[in-house]
Structure 1
Amino acid sequence: MDEKTLLDSILECINYIVSKHGPSSDIAKKVRTRARSMPEYSFTRGLVYALVYVASRGSKDLVEMGLKAQKCEEIIDKIDETKKGNEEKSYAIYGAILLYVAKKLNIVKGDTFERIIYELTESPAAEIKVWSVLDWLKRFAEAYIHE
């Protein structure tokens, strides 16, 4: 796994959230909460279950944007334009960032949520690689976004 791409991609997303919304905004705090809770959820229930849970709370279509975006700001701007509340937006942003980074790292190849679910189900190695993304996303969210 390319550590530089991993760190650059996560920082791109976290920095954009902080610059657009501020490090203490409600939406930023909710994204931080997602980043803190989802790794444990993924380890106990499984990554596929955690991704489906995130999509069910934030919208599969919004989470799927992470697979098609060229820049993280596209994801956040499009999700911000929706009429969803901050809770739902935070799930969508978190899930989309996760898929955005996994796609940039070539951990996943598909371009639909459904395809990604099958890829991760069929490849324990891919799931293990995504755990690293979960952990780094958690650490950067904790460092950059205030409680």
Structure 2
Amino acid sequence: MEEKLLLYSVLECINQITSKCGSSTDIVKKVRSRARSIPSYSFTKGLVYSLVYIASRSSKDLVETGLKAQKCEEVINEIIMKKEVGNEEKSYAIYGAILLYIAKKLNIVNGNRFDDIIRDITKSPVAEIKMWSVLDWFKRFVEAYIRERE
């Protein structure tokens, strides 16, 4: 996995979140909360559990947007435009979709469907190990760029 591409991808997504949603909005603060808490699920219960948990708190379809987008901006735009979805669900969807967007961009996973990704990760411990780096870097960038309280 190319570390530089990982860092650029995470930074691209953090900048898109703050520019599209504002740096102190409810959604952004909730995304920060997800980025800080969900990695521990991945370490204790596994990446598949974490992804399914994220999808259960938002929707599988919204999380899948990360697999179909060419740019992180597309991921954020598609999710925040959903009027029928509340901020809590949007925050989970944004977090999950960004993880899948970065994972696909780094060739950690392949496919355009959530089911395919779950199957791939279940079969490949290497994918899970590579995703730990994505989770950790995303968490660190979120903590640096998004304040907890203003």
TM-score range normalised by the length of the shorter chain: over 0.9
Q: How does 1:56-135 map to 2 (within 5 A)?
A: 56-82=56-82, 83-135=84-136
Is residue 2:85 matched to residue 1:50? no
Give, in whole Å, the separation in 2 of the partners of 1:113 and 1:61: 8
| TM-score, with length taken from structure 1 | 0.98
State the Cα distance separating 1:109 from its structure 2 match: 1.0
| TM-score, with length taken from structure 2 | 0.96
| Poorly superposed stretches of 4+, deviation over 2 Å | none
Query: What is the DSSP-based 3-state SS (H/G/I as helix, E as strand, rest coil) of the residue aligned with 2:108?
Result: coil
State the Cα distance separating 1:29 from its structure 2 match: 0.4
State the Cα distance separating 1:111 from its structure 2 match: 1.4
Q: Does 15-24 or 54-63 show the bigger shift?
A: 15-24
Aligned residues: 147
State the Cα distance separating 1:64 from its structure 2 match: 0.5
State the Cα distance separating 1:20 from its structure 2 match: 1.8
Is residue 2:6 matched to residue 1:6? yes
Q: Give unpaired runs (5+ residues) of structure 1.
A: none
Preserved contact between residue 63 and residue 93 of structure 2 (Cα < 8 Å): yes
Q: Give unpaired runs (5+ residues) of structure 2.
A: none
Give, in whole Å, the separation in 2 of the partners of 1:27 and 1:112: 25
State the Cα distance separating 1:89 from its structure 2 match: 0.1
Residue type of the alignment partner of 2:52: V
Give, in whole Å, the separation in 2 of the partners of 1:128 and 1:25: 32
Give, in whole Å, the separation in 2 of the partners of 1:30 and 1:44: 22
State the Cα distance separating 1:45 from its structure 2 match: 1.1
Give, in whole Å, the separation in 2 of the partners of 1:88 and 1:109: 25
Give, in whole Å, the separation in 1 of the partners of 2:110 and 2:90: 25
**Aligned-pair identity (%):** 72
Residue type of the alignment partner of 1:38: I
Residue type of the alignment partner of 2:94: I
Give, in whole Å, the separation in 1 of the partners of 2:111 and 2:19: 30
State the Cα distance separating 1:63 from its structure 2 match: 0.3
Give the RMSD, CA atoms, in angstroms: 0.7
Query: What is the DSSP-based 3-state SS (H/G/I as helix, E as strand, rest coil) of the residue aligned with 1:89?
Result: helix
